[in-house]
Amino acid sequence: MEQQKRYGHFDDEHREYVITDPKTPWPWINYLGNEDFFSLISNTAGGYSFYKDAKFRRITRYRYNNVPMDNGGRYFYIKDGDTVWNPGWKPCKTPLDFYECRHGMSYTRITGKKNGVEASVLFFVPLKKWAEVQKLTLKNESAETKSLKLFSFEEWGLWNPATDMENFQRNFSTGEVEIETTVHEGSPSGATIYHKTEYRERRNHYAFYHVNVPVQGYDTDRETFVGLYNEFANPDAVMEGKPRNSHAHGWSPIASHYIEVTLAPGESKDFVFLLGYIENEQDKKFEAPQVINKEKAHALISELDTTEKVDKAFAELNAYWDALLNIYKVKTGNDKLDRMVNIWNQYQCMVTFNFSRSASFFESGVGRGMGFRDSNQDLVGFVHQIPPRARQRIIDIASTQFPDGGCYHQYQPLTKRGNNDIGGGFNDDPCWLIFGTVAYIKETGDFSILDEMVPFDNQPGTEVTLFEHLKISLNHVINNLGPHMLPLIGRADWNDCLNLNCFSWDPNESFQTTENVSEGTKAESLMIAGLFVVTGKEYVTLCEKIGKHDEAARMQKAVDAMIEAVKKHGWDGEWYLRAYDFYGRKIGSNECEEAKIFIESQGWCTMAEIGAEDGMVAKSLDSCKKYLECEHGMVLNNPAFTKYIYEYGEISSYPEGYKENASIFCHNNPWVIIGEGLAGRGNDAWSHYAKILPSYVEEKYQTLHKVEPYVNCQMVAGKDAFRPGEGKNSWLTGTAAWMWYTVSEFILGIKPDYDGIRIDPCLPETAGDYTVTRRFRDAEYDITIHPNGQQKGVKSIVLDGSPIEGTVIPYSTGHHHIEVTM
């Protein structure tokens, strides 16, 4: 049998994915940075950096959807005689004698070898620093002395990538740099190139690119360095081995250091490059007319200008990740499951928390800020790791809400303000605030968050308690019911492409923001109905917990009414309907010509357990298996739309099998899996889960899925697609948090609750004994589960040697040992 091509493999011990062939089927990227300064880096060192906001503070330039793909990044050119090569293969693409890229937890190490020289670069953003470190180690593995010419390269972005890509009549004249190659009093040794475009006017920030050794030349003007008719693959200065010492005035400023390196046989040398970002106070911007104040840059450089300092910062970063990943650990003996739960799923959750849906190789970082619903869902993926940041995130999100409970669909991370370009009107959005907040309180026991004063639309003076925000969130649903007493959908619910109040034949109109016919709409959503029941029940429990019994009773009534409405008007016989359209006609019904069944309402209504007693849940789950499931997971709808239905908006604009039109939209598979879990169908839950678990289908990723094999992607082309199984939109997807929530709480069954940890696994019959170590608030729990071939149902729990009643291990500090028998 033909051996399948592989581009890499997991290294669990180091928590790395090791790429051994640079020609991956798609750039396989990693994220650097944990709080303020962020970078994207591909396996060939492509990508870009920004401070907090990929739109408003872009530091380096990137050209999207380039030819070739992924051109532009932080490049080191090594000229060894007539051979010019890069450690990450690109951009020169000189064949290497050895190549390896190791993507780890917030760092990437790329190593290349050519003609007896090894170049290894460690890229990372140190904790709490506004800078990317690039530690380059050059080693002479040959028997001769090597004289190398080393050129670094970064291209500056003019801060806002949107205008940077379009406003050339201005941009080509504004670029400015400063160059520091000699050591002045107070300046660190080495050489620094400062990027200060627009600093003379309203900006109070600049960036710099430093190296910790003296240089023999530099370049800061792109065309002078590259040559107008050349490419990154063959810059004039590099090919000739002669820097031009250019000083950029306008056009496209870059930063390139030129260093001559001699290495005796066996000798190796480290070079620390630092890409940094600085903000100055308004009255301290300059040290002389038009000369930037470099004090803070010098200070930052001096913290990271030796191998020792950098190694220490790297050790701190690793310790940080050790601590985060020690909070929840599973040992099942199944490497494929353990590595996803213990490493990659949790890592992806942190990345989606940091980036929401803003910057990836599929998201430009220009169009979208943080999503309201997205951020609330992402929160569930990392709240156990850094609860204080989850708390802050909840307050930030709630602060963009409107007084009627509606909310901005997105907000910008830099300003934390709602995004006016998209506005509000997505009627599922408010419910997610309850989803996020409840998860936070259960994890931390911190009810005080409910008393935080939180404004509307960021307007000072409008503050009410967070609890009030939760209340108006659900009221927003109650106040916007349609003719069947089901929630009105607004511009869309979770499915951004089911736009039932936008009828347009005009290709210049946006599906999402044009609401040309919402007046008198009958468009209702069963997905919101299920979401309302799930979050409404959570809210009722919360109200009881804090003694608001009247409010609990009020909401219980609304929840009960919604359940009745779904049973009466939301059931199609074998599955839940998806929606009613503008005219009140069914969507997602057997009566429909296409798209007879949708996944979202099956997921949410089974999670809400609506009609379980009448067999509705079981039938719905069976229908998912029958109509939605395929080799790669469950598709969003079936059959796919082959015709464009203009009163449905964007959904049927997609060719069949892609995106919201019948792809495996991974995000919503977990909803059905949780439904299966609640119903106790462990075999089914597991088989659905394994189909979209990256490590289980790693082989497929190598050629078919194409995207990064270590994380989930947003969509895998469905069974009706031209190329079923092809993955797209990797990394930034709510799938991360949902996969985590599903496996940690519903499959492995370790569920934080107000008073302790609830144990309620749902497993395949084949599951063996496993242990979860879980830190919970100030306590440590070692929990061993003995499934005994059972899919569901805990028989007994022994806590520190004594049996307990029920399935909740009451919270108490200390280290506890728990034995669970099913």
Interface ranges with ligand BGC (CB under 6 A): 496-497, 650, 659-660
In the complex with ligand NOJ, which residue's Cβ is closer, 494 or 571?
494
| Contact between 173 and 241 (Cβ < 8 Å) | no
Q: Is residue 494 a contact residue for ligand NOJ (CB under 6 A)?
A: yes
For residue 565, the number of C-alpha atoms closer than 13 Å in the C-beta half-sphere is 26
Q: What CA–CA distance (Å, rounded) separates 749 from 92?
A: 50
Residue of this chain nearest to ligand BGC (CB atom): 496
Q: Is residue 660 a contact residue for ligand NOJ (CB under 6 A)?
A: yes
The yes-or-no answer on residue 496 being catalytic is yes
Among 495, 512, 535, 620, binds ligand NOJ (CB under 6 A): 495
Q: With CB under 6 A, what is the number of residues at the site for ligand NOJ? A: 9
In the complex with ligand BGC, which residue's Cβ is closer, 515 or 760?
515
Contact mark string toward ligand NOJ, 338..367, x via CB under 6 A: -------------------x----------
| Contact between 596 and 518 (Cβ < 8 Å) | no
79 binds, among ligand NOJ, ligand BGC, none (CB under 5 to 8 A by kind): none
> At closest approach, how far in Å is the CB of 659 from ligand BGC?
5
| Closest of 42, 109, 604, 38 to residue 353, by C-alpha | 38
Q: What CA–CA distance (Å, rounded) separates 440 from 132?
A: 31
| Closest of 11, 40, 5 to residue 23, by C-alpha | 5
Q: Is residue 424 a contact residue for ligand NOJ (CB under 6 A)?
A: no
In the complex with ligand NOJ, which residue's Cβ is closer, 125 or 599?
599
Among 374, 515, 609, 647, binds ligand NOJ (CB under 6 A): 374
Cα 39 to Cα 36, 43, 47, 153, 365: the distances in Å are 10, 13, 7, 16, 12
> At closest approach, how far in Å is the CB of 497 from ligand BGC?
5
Q: What angle do CA 380, 384, 388 make, to 5 degrees?
A: 95
Q: Is residue 371 a contact residue for ligand NOJ (CB under 6 A)?
A: yes
| Contact between 752 and 741 (Cβ < 8 Å) | no
Going through 107-263 in order, the beta strands assigned E by DSSP cover: 107-114, 117-124, 131-140, 146-159, 177-180, 191-195, 205-211, 217-221, 253-263
| Closest of 804, 818, 808, 805 to residue 773, by C-alpha | 818
Going through 8-159 in order, the beta strands assigned E by DSSP cover: 8-11, 16-19, 29-32, 37-42, 49-51, 58-60, 75-80, 83-85, 98-104, 107-114, 117-124, 131-140, 146-159
371 binds, among ligand NOJ, ligand BGC, none (CB under 5 to 8 A by kind): ligand NOJ
> At closest approach, how far in Å is the CB of 646 from ligand BGC?
16
In the complex with ligand BGC, which residue's Cβ is closer, 660 or 708?
660
Q: How far apart are the first and last CA of the chain?
A: 43
747 binds, among ligand BGC, ligand NOJ, none (CB under 5 to 8 A by kind): none
In the complex with ligand NOJ, which residue's Cβ is closer, 371 or 425?
371
In the complex with ligand BGC, which residue's Cβ is closer, 153 or 511?
511
Q: Is residue 496 a contact residue for ligand NOJ (CB under 6 A)?
A: yes
Going through 574-639 in order, the beta strands assigned E by DSSP cover: 579-580, 586-587, 597-598, 629-630, 633-634, 637-638
| Contact between 616 and 571 (Cβ < 8 Å) | yes
442 binds, among ligand NOJ, ligand BGC, none (CB under 5 to 8 A by kind): none
| Candidates 270, 428, 496, 572; catalytic one | 496
> At closest approach, how far in Å is the CB of 474 from ligand BGC?
24
Q: Is residue 708 a contact residue for ligand NOJ (CB under 6 A)?
A: no
Contact mark string toward ligand NOJ, 428..457, x via CB under 6 A: ------------------------------
Phi/psi for 291 (5° steps) reads -105, 120
Q: Give the range of 214-222, 466-474, 493-501, 512-520 binding ligand NOJ by CB under 6 A.
A: 493-501
| Contact between 428 and 373 (Cβ < 8 Å) | yes
In the complex with ligand NOJ, which residue's Cβ is closer, 660 or 720?
660
In the complex with ligand BGC, which residue's Cβ is closer, 659 or 706?
659
What are the catalytic residues? Answer: 496
Contact footprint for ligand NOJ (CB under 6 A): 357, 371, 373-374, 494-497, 660
